[in-house]
Chains A and B, each alone.
Chain A
Amino acid sequence: MLIEALTLQLGYNATLVTIGATLLGLTAGAVGTFLYVGKRALVSDAISHATLPGIGLAFIAMVMLGGDGRALPGLLIGSALSAWVGLLCVSWLTYRTRLTEDAAIGAVLSVFFGAGIVLLTVIQSMRAGRQAGLEDFLLGSTAGMLWNDAVILAVGGAIVLGLVLLLHRPMALVAFDPDYATATGTDVRRTELAMMGLALAITVVGLKVVGLILIVALLIIPAVAARFWSDRVERVVLIAGGIGGVSGYAGAAVSASAPDLPTGPIIVLMAFGIFALSLLFAPDRGVLAVFLRHRRFQARVHVRQGLLALAQGQPIYERLTLRLMRRAGLIRADGVATETGKAQAARALLDERRWEILRADSRHEWAAARYDGLTPLERVLTPDQLVELDRSLRPEGV
């Protein structure tokens, strides 16, 4: 089953859902990066929770107009409108009152969600609402999705992706440095609005697949995971899109392959798995890389101190130092220096003396600032400068 699902052979609907989830993951990852870089990741949590009253009101309105309350386009329009109102409330509370943004987010998401729950219970007591299935929007549900809905999902994902491609340059600029963006003539307010609008669009498109409680994960997790792999914003956007796309694709496929595997949570857990791998194994910023770098640095410090001790004829007691120097062939098993050990020890001592003179000399102030007890002076000064420096060494003798 899983192989069939991954190769899109589980029927039209499953295929469309998988394609839609992939597109959704791609766009959510990319847009999420701009939100994350602009430190606004959790605003999307308020947006997604604020969709619920809109869904309820849209259902009631459509039933009252005599239509089918479950028509997806109507529900999505309603959810977008109320999410927009929620977003306005967050920014009004943040800019016009003394509340900080996180408090505004929390207030809006809980109140809108509470109002939505009230509306859901109202709908349950309506005759048309018994089988409304609006609870599906909480956690997403792709089982039994209609062909038309799947098409809306796939097309919606594609449109948002197109908009992201169109707007990515100004959005990156504004997210990173609003002041510079203003100075170069970008309309910051309008770009931020577009960014939030895209987050809103993703939330609305993702409601049916991932559900409104978890959609925020698709905007946050891929972006945070991608940040481990690069420092360049264009690349982070691409990587985050990739992570989101892979999570959406694999999640939708896995969920289609067996019963009792809800789509939204599986997609989110896929993304979290990639995040955990990035946290541990990413080069440069990952936990493993940081640990290895720390160990290498530790070893260099120990060997350097050991060499200085050898050169000055002092005994070495520290275990780690002894082990490292033995392994490097600098001392024998009984602790006596080998020929290489003696040579390197003399070099280390010479280097240390040179640094001492350099640091006492105000003409070399700029170079002295680079003293860390490890860097050989040959890497800082030119050979000519070294010869000059060595003149003041000679009277003492080495």
Chain B
Amino acid sequence: MGAEFVALSLPPLLIGVFAAVACALPGNFLLLRRQALIGDAISHVVLPGIVLAFLITGSVAAWPMMIGAGLAALITVVLIEVIRRVGRIEPGAAMGVVFTAMFAGGVLLLEQSDTSGVHLDVEHALFGNLESLIWLDAEGWASLLDPVALAGLPHELPRMAIALALIAALTWVFWRPLKLSTFDEGFAQTLGLPTGVIGLGLVIVSAIAAVAAFDAVGSIIVIAMFICPPAAARMMTNRLEMQVAWSVAFAVLSAVLGYVLAGYGPRWIGFDNAVSAAGMIATVSGVILAVAAVFGPCRVREGAAAG
């Protein structure tokens, strides 16, 4: 647990934890508002966004891709809303129409354009490349205090940290209006809260989390972290404050345990190749949800028969 750990495992581990928590925070509110699948939709449309950004700028630099993905997420949300209102279609179906079509468009663009020279493919967008985010300049724990070595950190790490800080700050500042409008939209309106703006803001924050996270960890973790930790936390408590705390704890646990199991687990049972960390993190979050759903103290809906 020395130099090798700091160089090879610490950065991906931290990125995984940051990404998981950044998605779980807005996920709590999406879950309670019955918008859980918006994270699913957003993470699918990230693909056409990054492909278009690549075709326009011709590079795989981070910022154009983030902007492209963000724009695609915004367009999706607007399109879903337009189709839902104009066509009077139920939200789930409107979502299904929009995100599948945009994902299909992204795949087609990708196949049609010449991306052989760069690392851009569907699998990357789905699973990310958490394992490859290593810190070559690190020589041990002391490197954490060395500015020269720190400059060589994978750039996903500071980006994810900033996104997490932003999301945590926004959640903290807007806690009261968020809570009110989530539980009782009518009451929030009579208090004069702009519930529509709050709802849109929540979706935009979710999009920020999804877009910042997909690059490092792929969309599969994004979807899992939006839903599984908050859903497991909901089985543990009836209070929103406690639920958010539980969800953060579950998200951290999934990320750490998943990463360790993926990286070291196969070696323990005799395989020599590591397995996908993104997939393992999602799997662990699912196991946590399953355990919470079977044993959690608040797992049953009030008034429903105990199962």
Annotate A199-219 by CB proximity to B: 1 below 8 A, 0 otherwise. 000000000000001101100
Using known A-B contacts A117-B220, A121-B276, determine if residue A261 contacts B301 with beta carbons closer than 8 Å.
no
Query: A217 and B301: CB pair below 8 A?
Result: no
Stretch from B1-9, B63-71, B100-108, B161-169 contacting the other chain: B100-108
Bound-state CA distance A213–B228 (Å) is: 20
Bound-state CA distance A98–B232 (Å) is: 11
Shortest Cβ gap from A248 to chain B (Å): 14
Closest to B281 in A: A114
Query: B289 and A111: CB pair below 8 A?
Result: yes
Query: B273 and A121: CB pair below 8 A?
Result: yes
Number of interface residues of A (CB under 8 A): 60
A224 in the interface (beta carbon within 8 A): yes
B235 in the interface (beta carbon within 8 A): yes
B40, B87, B104, B307, most chain A CB atoms within 10 A: B104
Annotate B204-227 by CB proximity to A: 1 below 8 A, 0 otherwise. 000000000000000011011011
Bound-state CA distance A268–B108 (Å) is: 11
Partner of B104, one of A98, A115, A260, A269: A269
Stretch from B13-21, B89-97, B151-159, B189-197 contacting the other chain: B89-97
Using known A-B contacts A109-B40, A260-B112, A279-B83, determine if residue A125 contacts B96 with beta carbons closer than 8 Å.
no
| Chain A hits for B96, CB < 8 A | 41-42, 45, 216-217, 220-221, 224
Query: B224 and A103: CB pair below 8 A?
Result: no
Bound-state CA distance A349–B96 (Å) is: 52
| Chain B hits for A97, CB < 8 A | 235, 293, 299-301, 307
Closest to B262 in A: A118
Partner of A266, one of B86, B108, B279: B108
Using known A-B contacts A96-B300, A228-B87, determine if residue A265 contacts B278 with beta carbons closer than 8 Å.
no
Query: B283 and A114: CB pair below 8 A?
Result: yes
Query: A122 and B103: CB pair below 8 A?
Result: no
Shortest Cβ gap from A2 to chain B (Å): 16
Shortest Cβ gap from A227 to chain B (Å): 7
B249 in the interface (beta carbon within 8 A): no
B11 in the interface (beta carbon within 8 A): no
A272 in the interface (beta carbon within 8 A): yes
| Chain A hits for B289, CB < 8 A | 107, 111
Shortest Cβ gap from B83 to chain A (Å): 7
Bound-state CA distance A265–B276 (Å) is: 26
| Chain B hits for A277, CB < 8 A | none
| Chain A hits for B122, CB < 8 A | 138-139
Query: A114 and B227: CB pair below 8 A?
Result: no
| Chain A hits for B90, CB < 8 A | 39, 41
B36 in the interface (beta carbon within 8 A): yes
Shortest Cβ gap from A46 to chain B (Å): 10
Bound-state CA distance A216–B95 (Å) is: 11
Query: B108 and A216: CB pair below 8 A?
Result: no
Shortest Cβ gap from B150 to chain A (Å): 31
Closest to A53 in B: B283
Bound-state CA distance A351–B274 (Å) is: 84
Shortest Cβ gap from A183 to chain B (Å): 24
| Chain B hits for A116, CB < 8 A | 279
Q: Give the residues from 26 to 63 in chain A that come closer than 8 angstroms, CB to CB, to chain B.
A: 36, 39, 41-42, 45
Bound-state CA distance A265–B272 (Å) is: 36
A338 in the interface (beta carbon within 8 A): no
B39 in the interface (beta carbon within 8 A): yes
B250 in the interface (beta carbon within 8 A): no
Shortest Cβ gap from B67 to chain A (Å): 24
Q: List 14 A-B contacts (CB under 8 A).
A: A36-B93, A39-B92, A98-B301, A106-B223, A111-B283, A113-B282, A117-B127, A121-B276, A214-B100, A228-B87, A262-B111, A265-B108, A266-B104, A279-B87
Q: A41-B96, A139-B107, A262-B108 given; name 4 further pairs at CB < 8 Å.
A: A110-B224, A114-B224, A224-B93, A260-B112
